[in-house]
Amino acid sequence: MRNIAKWRRQLTEYDIEYVPCTSVKGQAIADHLAEFPIEDDTPINSDFPDEGILRVNEEEEGTAWKMYFDGAVNSTGSGIGVVLISPDGRYYPIAAKVNFLCTNNVAEYEACILGLQAAIDFKVKELEVFGDSMLTIFQTLGQWKTKDAKFVPYHEYLQELVENFEKISFTYTPRIKNQFADALATLASMVSITKENLIEPLEIEIAEGPDYCDTIVATDEQPCALLPERRDSLPPFLRRHTTP
C-alpha cells in the first residue's frame, strides 16, 4: 500500500487518461481490417473440414466396452460391484463380498481391479472405465501421487492389468451416474455369502404394471376378468377387488 501511494503521488503531475481495454482491442481489429482488406473473392466453403475424421471417431467409439466400478464399506461389511457394458448394449454385472478389513479407498481399488480382470476374461481390447473414486481414477492417470504405502501394490498391479488393453481410458463420474455399480457393491456388502451359495448373475426386468395384469382375459360379455386359477392365488385383499 505504501508503494502504491508513492507511485500515485509521483504520477499526479502527468495527464493520464484511462482507456478501457475492450475499446482498444476493438479499434485495433477495425484498423487492421481497414489497412489489410481481403482481396480474394474465393467463396467460403461451408462444408465442415473434419467431417470425415469425426465419422471415423464415431466408428471407433462404437467398438469400445464400458466399465463402471464402485466399492462399499459400511457397518454390515464390505463389497465391490462392477458393470461391464458391451458395444451392443448388453450388461454384465459382477459383485464380490470382501471378507477382510479395508477402507473405502481400498474397496474402490479392489472393484476396479475386479472389473479389469473380468474385461480381460471377456477378451476386451478397448475399454472405457468410469468410477466415482477420485483417488483411484486420478492415481491411475498419474495426476495424483501414490503416497500411501497400502495403495502402492494396488497401483502397480492395476498398471500391469492396463497393459492387456490396446486402448483404455479412465474417467471420473459422479455417484449419481454410477448407481448400478453402487447398488451391486452395497448388496454384496450387506448379504451373507459363503462358498456353498454362490449367486448366479442377476437378471433385471422392467415391470410395466402389476403381475396379475398379464393373466387378465377379456370377452364380449365380460370385458375384463381374471383367470380363475390366477384369482385364487391372489391375496384376499386383492381377490375382493377382482371379477370372478
Q: Where are the domains of the chain?
A: 65-190
- State the Cα–Cα distance between residues 2 and 8, nearest whole angstrom: 10
- Mean of pLDDT values over 25-45: 64
Reported pTM: 0.61
Instruction: Decide if 70 contacts 104 (C-beta within 8 A).
Output: no
User: Quick one: pLDDT band at residue 54, thresholds 50, 70, 90?
Assistant: very low
Neighbours of 175 (CB within 10 A): 12
| CB-count exposure of residue 230 (10 Å: 0-12, 13-18, 19+) | middle
Thinking of the domain 65-190, which architecture would CATH place it in? Answer: 2-Layer Sandwich (3.30)
How deeply is 172 buried, as exposed, middle or buried, from its count of CB atoms within 10 A (0-12, 13-18, 19+)?
middle
With beta carbons less than 8 A apart as the criterion, state whether 71 and 110 touch: yes
The residue among 53 and 182 whose pLDDT is bigger is: 182
pLDDT 10s digits, 72-90: 998 888 999 999 999 999 9
pLDDT at residue 22 greater than cutoff 60: no
The cell for 108 is: 474402490
pLDDT in tens, 190-226: 887 776 666 666 677 777 767 655 555 445 555 555 4
159 phi, psi to nearest 5 deg: -65, -35
What pLDDT was estimated at residue 93?
A: 93
Average pLDDT over the chain reads 77
Nearest to 68 by CA among 91, 100, 40, 88: 91
> ∠ CA 74-78-80 to the nearest 5 degrees?
120
Give the whole-angstrom CA distance, residue 96 versus residue 193: 9
Q: Provide the pLDDT for residue 16.
A: 65
